[in-house]
Amino acid sequence: MKTSSLRKKCIWICATGAFLGMAGLAACAPQVAVVEDQTASAVAQMPRMTPATDEYGVVVADSWKDIYPNEFATYEANVSNSPDSGKHDYLELYPALNAMYQGYAFALGYDEASGHLYTLDSVKGTPRTNEKEQLANCISCKTPQFTATVNTEGEEIYKKPFWDVVEQYDEPVSCYNCHENDPQSTTVTNKFFSRALGASDAANVPKESQVCGQCHNEYYFDPETKATTNPYSGLETMTPDAILSYYDERGYKDWEHPGTGAAMLKVQHPEFETIYGGNQTYMAKYGMTCASCHMGTKVAEDGTTYVSHEWKSPLENQELMDTTCNTSGCHADDKGGIAGKVATIQAEEEERVTAISEKIEELIAKTDERRQAGTIDADTLAQVQRLHRVSQFYWDFVMVENSEGAHNPELTFETLDKAEATADEALALLA
């Protein structure tokens, strides 16, 4: 069994194994020192200073640094989560992935994600865009400049070749993604996610989580329009079962597996669905947002309280764990506090993820062997292909969700149960 610490360094909701989405920024506090009972009036009197936009209508992060120096400094701290900070190659860490993703771009390269300051560098540097022709839709969530282009010029740009578009942009994920050009509010700038969530359900989800979820979600590229699209409508249909049904009803596939001939699905990074979909988690019902755990507040030297924009695991924020999680919070009675509980969940998830991946690898090898030898009849092959699609979808839903089970243990292990059961069923047919 491989340890969880080898798989991902922390339970970042702001790191994605697949395409490095973005984390939400809570509304910025103004840079004035005030006592508590004067805060509201001070904010109201503060002039709205908006620097000039670039050619795409985006105020880049650097333009806000003198107006919001504390937030900008913590945003800049994300530079430490760099490609050179000891990232893992998942194709080496999980050898089964080489068989599971065979025929798809992820078999060309699948590295642990770097931070949001590197989104453009990462998408331009991966073999998935260098060794395989891709469209501009791969730039979704990599730069606010592309988001602004889609919102102003329309979705036709999704169809353009990746390399014809990406080089014009130079701003990684930054302020605009979550605030548009108003740091005192939060805005879901990816309209595809707003449409999929729906107005009524949006009213029941904190905006701080929506701005995270607009990129930390499961999506696909529409076969006709090539637009980035979510496979659901509303919170109730954001479950693994409902998402699989959505794809099945449309006959959708990301690729055909060359070993089994199965119509395969590649899950992206369903953090939002894992927390808010279906029954929702205790954290969501309790009112915790993504920012509650992955950002937190700080106090500057002048006494100003502000929201940290360094996105990291709560396990890397000892102050947050001590004051919010362990002392009087949800994990006060857990052995070892939040860190102990998360370690237990992630160890079990890691063990099962590894074991099930090896079963799916075996399923692929046996099916390929039988196909090559001509010793499997059409009906049995069709059953195995269906089981391969389903098993790997459920497995992938857990594997690429970046908390390693911590966001929603119940859903995580239920989904792994389904992945293992369908893999076992296929192996029984091949025995």
Q: How far apart are CA 73 and CA 62, in angstroms?
A: 10
* Element of type H or E holding 162: helix 162-165
Q: How far apart are CA 272 and CA 283, in angstroms?
A: 12
For residue range 337-351, list pLDDT tens digits in order.
788 888 999 999 999
pLDDT at 359: 98
Q: What is residue 317's DSSP assignment?
A: -
pLDDT at 335: 77
* Element of type H or E holding 264: strand 263-264
For residue range 187-217, list pLDDT tens digits in order.
999 999 999 999 999 999 999 999 999 999 9
Q: How far apart are CA 389 and CA 248, in angstroms?
A: 10
- With residues binned 3-state (H G I as helix, E B as strand, rest as coil), the percentages for the chain, rounded to 5, are 55, 5, 45
Q: What contacts 189, CB < 8 A, 6 or more positions away?
A: 144, 147, 148, 151, 176, 177, 178, 180, 214
What's the mean per-residue pLDDT of the chain? 88
Does residue 7 carry a pLDDT above 60? no
Where residue 98 falls among pLDDT bands split at 50, 70, 90? very high
Domains observed in the chain:
7-335 (1.10.1130.10)
For residue range 381-416, list pLDDT tens digits in order.
999 999 999 999 999 999 999 999 999 999 999 999
pTM: 0.89
Residue 267 · residue 391 · CB < 8 Å: no
Where residue 328 falls among pLDDT bands split at 50, 70, 90? low
Structure tokens at 351: 């063990």
What mean pLDDT is predicted for residues 53-63? 98
Does residue 253 carry a pLDDT above 50? yes
Does residue 317 carry a pLDDT above 90? no
Other Cβ atoms less than 10 A from the Cβ of 410: the count is: 11
> What is residue 395's three-state secondary structure?
helix
pLDDT at 2: 40
Task: Output the CA torsion sign for 225, 230, 236, 238.
Answer: positive
* Element of type H or E holding 305: strand 305-307
Q: Which amino acid is at 341?
A: K
Q: Where are the beta strands (DSSP E) in 134-223?
A: 220-221
Q: Which amino acid is at 47?
A: P
What mean pLDDT is predicted for residues 265-274? 97
Does residue 15 carry a pLDDT above 80? no
Residue 15 · residue 268 · CB < 8 Å: no
Q: What is residue 62's DSSP assignment?
A: G
pLDDT at 13: 33
For residue range 215-252, list pLDDT tens digits in order.
999 999 999 999 999 999 999 999 999 999 999 999 99
Does residue 26 carry a pLDDT above 50? no
Does residue 24 carry a pLDDT above 60? no
Q: Which amino acid is at 250?
A: R
Share of the chain above pLDDT 90, in %: 77
